[in-house]
Amino acid sequence: MTRRDYRLLFIILAIIILLSQVTLAAQVHRVEPGESLFSIARDYGVEVEEIISTSNLRNTREVFPRQVLIIPPESVYYVRKGDTLSQIAEDLNIELDRLIAENNLSNSDYIWPGQVLQIPWREKEDVLVNSFKIYEVQPGDSLHSISHQFGIAVKTLAGINDISDMDKLEAGQLLNIPEYSFSELRQLYPEHFFHHKNTDSPKIALTFDDGPDDIYTSRVLDVLKEHQVPATFFYMGSKVERYPEVVKRTVEEGHVIANHSWSHPQLINLTDLEVYDEIKKTEIAMEEISGLRSGLIRPPYGLISQKLLEQLKSLDYRVIQWSVDSVDWRDRDVDQILINTIPDTEEGSIILFHTSSGGQSLQATVDVLPELIYTLKTQDYEFVTVDELLDIPAYLN
Ligand code: ZN
């Protein structure tokens, strides 16, 4: 190569390094007066259609000042020196497996600087979007034999049960085996299992788990009151007993209260009697304070099995899961919560939030609500309680 070739090569490398500095993740854009979808798309160097798609816009003709748009990330990533696939996956908030699959990589560790990786648009968190059955490990079983028996990938099985591939299983050990997807359960139990509504009507429901508490539940109620938005609160019985005034306020301000167990255990691992206790104690505590007998339940962590669902059905409960997960308890960041919710929200969505989280701050949940509510209202969504969304009774008395 001549000196000139080297110079050219240097310039190309410099450009690659510059390009690799561009946005790696989706961004939040808050519309300013005078902006249009076209001008915003041009400023970010993306297509109008991409913004419409990632922001899941119903109203595509105009944008409103303060409306939140989700700008898709660059769809390619230029590998930099020192990068590893797992680091890239973590930085871009996507599953390593998905990154490997998308790029047809056979050796998951071998990447080189300047290599172009195709980056899939964000991963939907769907590990829990399943029911589980319990399997008792038999002598001679291995993760592989069980994986084969139930037709579930070893990795999935290991992930769900928090065991490493190498771990020896012990006879008698209990494993959670994925059973039905939420959609399958919905078909099997159309009157008793819900995670969204299939509809063209622009109704959506905000739901808040794990309260009441003495900090965030009241702040969330303040925001909902200011914006005149009704919601559904899945309360824990043990906290209902501690914060009766918050429960009373919730009902008085037009929200629905529902059952989220007494102490937040994994109900699928309890005996029928223990499950009964968790549910009934909560039901009684809520009824004593509000006079209302709850008919809606969300099992802790959304963990459900067909067996548990049958029991809840026999107790006259309807199970309410969700279709949009804010992951607010983990991310605790306004922009990230907007990115987690807006792209997935559509007609009939049930959106999951929390008002209590093991002592951690949920201030971001409080802070994101005005923007999220305003933005979804610009798309002509109407906020309703889940019973209204699904046309089922909220209470049994
Ligand atoms: Zn919960």
Structure token digits, residue 289: 């304070």
Cβ contacts of residue 44 below 8 Å, gap of 6+? Answer: 27, 29, 51, 71
Residue 23 scores a pLDDT above 60? no
Q: What would the pLDDT profile of 146-200 be if each residue is shown by its tens digit? A: 999 998 888 888 888 888 867 789 999 999 998 898 889 999 999 999 999 999 9
**Distance, CA of 329 to CA of 357 (rounded, Å):** 6
CA 198 / ligand 1 centre spacing (Å):
25
How sure is the predictor about 15, in pLDDT bands with cuts at 50, 70 and 90? low
**What does 267-280 look like in DSSP terms, one character per residue?**
GGGS-HHHHHHHHH
How sure is the predictor about 21, in pLDDT bands with cuts at 50, 70 and 90? very low
CA 35 / ligand 1 centre spacing (Å):
40
Q: Is 331 a catalytic residue?
A: no
End-to-end CA distance of the chain: 85
CA 63 / ligand 1 centre spacing (Å):
35
Q: Would you state the pLDDT for residue 357? A: 83
**Distance, CA of 162 to CA of 175 (rounded, Å):** 10
**Confidence (pTM):** 0.84
Residue 55 burial (C-beta neighbours within 10 Å; 0-12, 13-18, 19+): buried
Q: Which of 209, 328, 335, 387 is catalytic?
A: 209
Average pLDDT, the chain: 91
Residue 19 scores a pLDDT above 60? no
CB of 260 within 8 A of CB of 292?
Answer: no
CA dihedral 198, 209, 395, 241 (to 10 degrees): 180
Q: Which of 195, 196, 354, 387 is catalytic?
A: 354
Structure token digits, residue 111: 């990447």
Residue with tokens 């908030």: 93
Residue 127 scores a pLDDT above 50? no
Q: What would the pLDDT profile of 239-294 be if each residue is shown by its tens digit? A: 999 999 999 999 999 999 999 999 999 999 899 999 999 999 999 999 999 999 99
CA 125 / ligand 1 centre spacing (Å):
16
Partners of 234 in the beta sheet? Answer: 209, 258
Give the long-range contacts of residues 84-87, CB within 8 A, separation 24 or more.
Answer: 84/109, 84/111, 85/109, 85/111
